[in-house]
Amino acid sequence: MPKALLLENIHPFAAKSLRDHGFEVETRKGALGEDELIEALDGVDLLGIRSKTSVTRKVIDARPSLTAVGCFCIGTNQVDLPYAGKKGIAVFNAPYSNTRSVVELVICDIICLLRRIPAHTHHMRHGMWDKSATGSHEVRGKTLGIIGYGNIGSQLSVLAEALGMRVVFYDIEEKLAMGNAQRCETLNELLEQSDAVTLHVDGRKSNTGFFGEDQFAHMKQGAIFINLSRGFVADLDALKQHLDSGHLSGAAVDVFPVEPKKTGDPFSTTLAEEDNMILTPHIGGSTLEAQEAIGHFVAQRLEDYWFKGSTMLSVNMPQITLNSLPGTARIAHLHANLPGVLARVNRVLGEENINIAAQALGTEGELGYVVTDVSQTPSREALEALRNIEGTIRMRVIS
């Protein structure tokens, strides 16, 4: 019986789906450190994680039998993707399933900060009745600056316009503007005109420290700042300085450079005592609807890969979409992208007079992936010959 390990409170639907498909499933609430993960992966075929567990080279080398990793979240920067691919481990994520949840929280943060709800709540809790409109604004007519105009940024753009906001955005790639949104040629152009600035950049290493003192200094007087993307992209010390000075009127932060691994662990930040501040524990995509959708989506990708060999929507493998197995056996051969591998695979099968019912080949970067449906299961000698083809990374027989 194949085994799956699901960490970090992944939605129960994922465990149920995998069990229904014949997997033995172990679930754990928290994230695991490197050595803990290596120990837990003994005998595990499929691993499910969220954002706190890192799958490093050390983990991959220690557990070479691991077949696939499902990231039950948007990001995949917690996995060494190129190295996983070179070792034959397919990685899947859910790039769209929690988009709406993140967008709704950003909208909520914008409204609360512009109305100074966190500050009023703080005053009420400390016995102060401060019924005043000072510093409170409607969102209608304000300019929202979106940095990173991908799935989340573009959907946020639409909802913000529906509230009457003017939307400008900045992205290093060419993106189609939604509605009346306007593209800014430079980041500073966006910062200097935006009443609210929200970050939605990805987790690539080059984005570390992307938004720091210089960027905060270019923001409008009285503007608000929101980060629901990655903890390492914004300098929180610089943010605090601009809040303390009165340059910025408020901020919402959902992600932090260092975060606890599990619910209930202690956490502290120097931003906690800021007046008009919203602090949330990395819950941008944490709604029941989003987590259920993610559980369904990623579990389906893992099942398709295990039972069909399908790599569609994998983030580190050549893309091949496959239907259910029609014949006796399916041979999934992952290899280095070298010339002649397909011919060698077919030669081995031909020497055994094995009829090929269907075949699909995909290449991406340094990897090649050929999937062959055959009319009969090859002999041990033929399978060994397939494994010994130059450049072979992993070969599986699915029957």
Other CB atoms within a 10 A radius of the CB of residue 387 amount to: 11
Which of the residues 259, 292, 364, 366 is marked catalytic? 259
Instruction: Name the one residue in this structure whose structure tokens are 């893309």.
Output: 319
- The string of DSSP codes covering 164-204 is T-EEEEE-SS--PPPTT-EE-SSHHHHHTT-SEEEE-----
The C-alpha atoms of residue 285 and residue 200 are separated, in whole angstroms, by 13
Chain position carrying tokens 């300098």? 235
Burial class (CB in 10 A: 0-12, 13-18, 19+), 245: exposed
Select which of 11, 116, 282, 333 is catalytic: 282
Catalytic: 259? yes
How does DSSP classify residue 234?
A: B
Exposed/middle/buried for residue 22 (C-beta within 10 Å: 0-12, 13-18, 19+): exposed
The two structure tokens encoding residue 355 = 């009829």
For residues 32 and 54, what is the distance between their CA atoms, to the nearest angstrom?
A: 8
Please tell me the distance from the alpha carbon of residue 11 to that of residue 286, in angstroms, as a whole number.
10
Whether 282 is a known active-site residue: answer yes
Q: Which DSSP category does 233 fall into?
A: G
Among 230, 301, 335, 344, the one annotated catalytic: 230
Structure tokens, 263 = 């619910």
List residues with catalytic annotation: 230, 259, 282
